[in-house]
Structures are given as structure tokens and as C-alpha cells.
Amino acid sequence: MKLCMIGTGYVGLVSGVCFSDLGNTVYCVDKDKKKIELLNKCKVPIYEPGLEELIKKNFKQKRLIFTTDFKSAVEKADIIFICVGTPTNKNSNSANLNYVFQVANQLKKNIKKYKIVVTKSTVPVTTGDKIEKILVKQKNKKLVDVVSNPEFLREGEAIRDFVYPDRVVIGTNSKKANRILKNLYLPIIKKSSRYLHTSRRGAELIKYASNAFLATKISFINELANLCEQTNVDIKDISSGMGLDQRIGDRFLRAGPAYGGSCFPKDTRALIDTANKYKVDLSIIKSTVKSNNLRKIKLTKKIEKILNKKLKGKKITFLGVTFKPNTDDMREAASIPMIKYLNKKGCEVRYHDPSGEKKEFRNLKNVKYFKDISAACLKTDLIILHTEWNDFKLLNFKKLIKKKNFIVYDLRNIYSPTKMREMKIKYFAVGR
Ligand code: UDX
């Protein structure tokens, strides 16, 4: 099939590359010329394990085309995927749909024969109806089917998630569009039980509901971790004990810092905003958002407590600053407010992250990036294990720090408290 991905951000690029690897011809369109130039040199603008190899392979075989020529790509394609960003609007919680509607308006002028237009961007329920209104003129009603096909890719695992999805959700009431899309996904759904055909609005809402539920699961376990710290219980026991109940499941029950990233914070806010518009009170999801915001403050206060409220001049080393490992993404990373606060309080903050230096900290006077992990840790007062990159899982702290008194605050519960105690290392973890 001939596909066109509009937007070569995370979703568009990964999906486009994976679709081409399944044998489709894929036109990846973006208005950002620099990005397209980069991609045409097979250079990847994002950090995603395995993506560069797949780009090189499919680009060579001419199944993957990067272009700024919207019109010609749309003309050639049978299916057009809208994959542009839907960030949170300034001064509100709603999703900004400007890019989505701009694309719809551009498509309106360029659709001359039957096409399926699919929204992969995360869009509030009823957005498909609005896109359809833009695209479907009375006289050419049969020319376009607007479908919702939300994306569930996790950063860092995106290729595996694409090839082995838990489910593919297709929201449409068009039998024709459903048949064509099922066919497109056939190589990866294999077992058709993984293919879920719903209404378009249903598919739009499934995406938000899933993200909000996962975010709630994390906030739930994070709050229980607070209780565990007060009652001397190990949160890992609680996660395991709960997770063994198949109705609950063991995933997304790892306690840690506030959840971050490009989806959970933005999508929970947008879902609340949508519900408010319909005068529905999503009180549980509101609590999740509140709990996650409080978590950033709570853990920063704990750092203060660990250092006996004497922050000025203290050397603090963050190991990992991204919102999770295997990504260079800093969007809504819990490290940002934490580091900003510590910087303001006069700490000497150093950080090392395998994905490199971060622009978020460039203008902060007391914050310095270290390419080398030993240099970042040398003679530090406090290590904060913020992101669970594999690089940080077998560290010899004494060798790295080379001084007697130091503290380790393990926000991801990577190390064993017992072993740390045996080694006489002052160690703090989350909920244990
Ligand atoms: C998420 C969803 O998983 C994906 O399906 C959706 O399409 C996009 O949003 P992603 O943002 O890439 O994917 O990251 P994810 O792996 O889900 O982690 C999100 C945040 O939750 C991270 O900050 C992570 O550290 C945190 N997390 C996750 C926990 O704190 N504990 C857990 O048990 C799991």
C-alpha cells in the first residue's frame, strides 16, 4: 500500500518507518526542511533504539521517502495518517488542535480520489467529527473516510511496541476503511483478537482512558510508597503482591519520582478538560494529576531533609535526568523542577545522562553536565538516581565518589537496601 505520514515527530516517524519495513511505500512529510534533509541523510532526529537501522534499510530499498512536498505525497497515497503534535494549550489544560486542523484544511484542497484519513495524533473525543466536517463536502462524500487509530508506542520501546502490539484500535463506521486498515495491520496483528474495531469516538477516548489509567496506577503506588516509608514496609513487596492478582497485573506499579514524558501529563490534563466541557467530573483522574504534581515537591523536600536542610554549597549528582531510560526526551521530566529548586538553593548540581547534555539546564548557574560518570560523581555529597538507565545498575559508589561520607538516594529502587547497609553506605530509596 502507499501511505503518507504527515508529521515526522515521534509517532509519525516510528510508525512510518515500521510500516515501510512491512513492505509498504511510505511518504513521510514534514514542513521542517532541516528535519527532512537530516532524514534524507538517514540521520535520526530523535533517540529511539533500532530506528536508524530500519531507516537506512528501507530508505535504501526506496520504500521510505522523506519529503516536504505535501501535495504530491498526499496524491500518491491511499491512506494518510495525521501524526502532528497536540501539545497542551498555553494557560489551559486543553489539547492544542491547531496543527491537526491545519493539516485537515490542507488535505481538503488535495484529495481528488478516495482516501482514508487516519488520526494517529492523540486527539480529544469528537475531533474526528470535526476533521470530517472539514474534509467531506456534500458532493464528494464518498471520497474520504476519517478514521481514528490511536498510537500506544512507548518511547524507547517503540519499534517492539509497533511490531508486537497489545492491540490495534481502529475507530470507524466505514466497512471499507475497516477492511483496508485491517489488511494493512494484518502482518502484525496475526491473532485477530488483537484487532479492535470500535466507533471513531470510542477509539479516540480509548487512548486517553488508557494513559489516564496507567498514570493513575503509578500515582497509586507512589502514594502507597509514602505510607510504606512511614510503616517500615517494602513497597516492592506491595507491588509484587498486588501484581500477582491477575485482575491488577504487575506492570506500572513501580514506585518512583513523578511520572513524566510527552503523554501521561498532557493526556490526563486534556481528558479532564474534555470532561469539564461536558460537565463531567473525572475526580479520580484529577486526583492523579494533583498527586503527581505534589510528588515533585515531596521528593525535593525529602532531598532537603536528607541533607539536614543544609543545601547551600552541597554537591548533588543526578544520574539520569530523562523521564525514563532509553530516550533523550526531557518533556515533563521530574528532574527539571527538582534541579531548578536545588540550583536556586545554591547547591552545586552535576548531572550525567547517557543521552547527553540537556538544554533545559544550560542557563542554570550552578548546574553542570558531565559526559563522564566518574567525573560527575567524584567527591559528591549526594547521588540521586533519577532514571533507571542500565548504565547505573551496577555502580561501585565508593570507587566512583572517592570520599568517605556520601549519600545515595535511589529514586528507582535499583539497589538493595540490605547490601547498601552492609557496605555502610548511607542509602535512601522510595517506599522501603
Ligand atoms: C506512554 C504509554 O505507555 C504509551 O502507551 C502511550 O502511547 C504514550 O505514553 P511513554 O510516555 O513513552 O509511553 O512512557 P512509559 O514507559 O509509559 O512511562 C511513562 C512514565 O511513567 C515515565 O516517567 C516512567 O518512569 C513512569 N513509570 C512507568 C513509573 O514511574 N512507574 C512504572 O511502573 C511505569
pLDDT in tens, 17-36: 999 999 999 999 999 999 99
Strand order of the β-sheet with 144-148 is: 64-67, 25-29, 2-6, 79-82, 115-119, 144-148, 168-171, 195-198
Contact 205, 148 (CB under 8 A): no
Ligand 1 centre and the CA of 210: distance in Å?
11
> Could you give the CA distance from residue 247 to residue 253 in angstroms, rounded to a whole number?
13
Q: What is the 170 CA–ligand 1 centroid distance (Å)?
A: 22
Contacts of 29 (CB under 8 A, 6+ apart): 4, 5, 6, 7, 8, 67, 68, 69, 70, 73, 74
428 CA distance to ligand 1 centroid (A)? 23
Closest residue by CA, ligand 1 atom 14: 154
Q: Taking the chain, what is the end-to-end CA distance rounded to the nearest angstrom?
A: 53
CA 19 to chain centroid, in Å, comes to: 20
Both 17 and 30 in one domain: the answer is yes
Does 147 share its domain with 188? yes
The single residue listed with the C-alpha cell 479516540 is: 204
C-alpha to C-alpha distances, 199 to 108, 147, 148, 171, 296, nearest whole angstrom: 23, 9, 9, 5, 38
What are the pLDDT digits (tens) for 310-327?
999 999 999 999 999 999
Specify the number of domains making up the chain.
Answer: 2
Contact 158, 140 (CB under 8 A): no
Atom of ligand 1 nearest to the CA of 151: 7
Cα 282 → chain centroid:
22
Return d(Cα 107, Cα 235) in angstroms, integer: 51
Same domain, 364 and 417: yes
For ligand 1, atom 28, which residue shows the shortest CA distance?
A: 252
**Does one domain contain both 123 and 205?**
no
Nearest-atom number in ligand 1 for the CA of 262 is 11
Average of pLDDT values for 355-362? 97
Does one domain contain both 352 and 420? Answer: yes
- Co-location of 234 and 372 in the same domain: yes
Over residues 199-237, the pLDDT tens digits come to: 999 999 999 999 999 999 999 999 999 999 999 999 999
- Taking residues 242-247, what's their average pLDDT? 98
Residue 191 has what pLDDT?
65
Which ligand 1 atom minimizes the distance to the CA of 222? 30
What CA–CA distance (Å, rounded) separates 425 from 67? 55
Whether residue 145 is found in the same domain as residue 24: yes
- Ligand 1 pocket, mutate which of 151, 168, 218, 336 (most atoms under 8 A from CB): 218
> Rounded CA gap, 138 and 395, in Å?
66
Chain mean position to CA 341: 24
Active-site option among 18, 263, 347, 377: 263
Integer Cα distance of 78 and 97 in angstroms: 24
Residue 123 and residue 50 in one domain: yes
pTM higher than 0.85: yes
pLDDT, position 141: 67
- CB-neighbour burial class of residue 42 (10 A; exposed 0-12, middle 13-18, buried 19+): middle
**What percent of the chain clears pLDDT 70, i.e. is strictly above it?**
99
- The yes-or-no verdict on residue 242 having pLDDT over 80 is yes
Q: Is 263 a catalytic residue?
A: yes
Nearest CA to 183 among 172, 192, 174, 173? 192
Question: Mean pLDDT throughout 373-380?
Answer: 98
Question: Which residues does ligand 1 sit against, CB inside 6 Å?
Answer: 151-155, 211, 214, 218, 252-254, 256, 259-264, 323-324
Q: All 3 cell numbers of residue 430? A: 522510595
Same domain assignment for residues 316 and 361: yes
Residue 136 has pLDDT above 90, yes or no: no
Q: What is the pLDDT of residue 137?
A: 73
Specify whether 263 is located in the same domain as 183. no
Taking CA atoms only, the protein residue closest to ligand 1 atom 17 is: 154
Instruction: Point out the domain boundary residue: 173, 198, 223.
Output: 198
In percent, how much of the chain has pLDDT > 90? 96
- Partners of 171 in beta bridges: 148, 198
As to burial, measured by CB atoms within 10 angstroms (0-12 exposed, 13-18 middle, 19+ buried), residue 244 is exposed
The answer on 272 and 235 residing in a single domain is yes
State the helix-helix crossing angle for 127-135 and 200-231, rounded to 10 degrees. 150
198, 224, 243: which is the final residue of a domain?
Answer: 198
Measured by CA distance, the residue closest to atom 13 of ligand 1 is 154
- Please tell me the predicted confidence (pLDDT) of residue 134: 94
For residue 126, how far is its CA from the centre of ligand 1 (angstroms)?
25
26 in Cβ contact with 54 (< 8 Å): no
**Tens of pLDDT, residues 295-304:** 999 999 999 9
Ligand 1 midpoint to CA 412 (Å)? 14
Residue 106: the pLDDT is: 95
pLDDT digits (tens, 9 = 90+) for 160-185: 999 999 999 999 999 999 999 999 99
Query: In sequence order, which residues have a C-beta less than 8 Å from that of residue 62 and are 6 or more positions away?
Result: none
pLDDT at position 256, please? 98
Closest ligand 1 atom, residue 388 Cα: 25
161 and 252 in a single domain? The answer is no
The CA-atom distances, in angstroms, between 255 and each of 52, 259, 389 are 32, 10, 16
Which structural domain, as residue segments, surrounds residue 133? Answer: 2-198
pLDDT of residue 192: 65
pLDDT value of position 140:
61
Atom of ligand 1 nearest to the CA of 260: 23
pLDDT in tens, 392-426: 999 999 999 999 999 999 999 999 999 999 999 99
Rounded Cα–Cα distance for residues 79 and 101 (Å): 18
What pLDDT sits at residue 142? 77
pLDDT in tens, 255-293: 999 999 999 999 999 999 999 999 999 999 999 999 999
Measured at the CA of 251, the angle between CA 227 and CA 188, to 5 degrees, comes to 165
For 405-418, letters b (16+ CB in 10 Å) and e give ebbbbbbbbbbeee
Measure 217 CA to ligand 1 centroid, in angstroms: 11
End-of-domain residue from the set 146, 172, 198: 198
3-state class (DSSP) for residue 266: helix
- CATH code, 268: 3.40.50.720
Q: What is the mean pLDDT of the chain?
A: 96
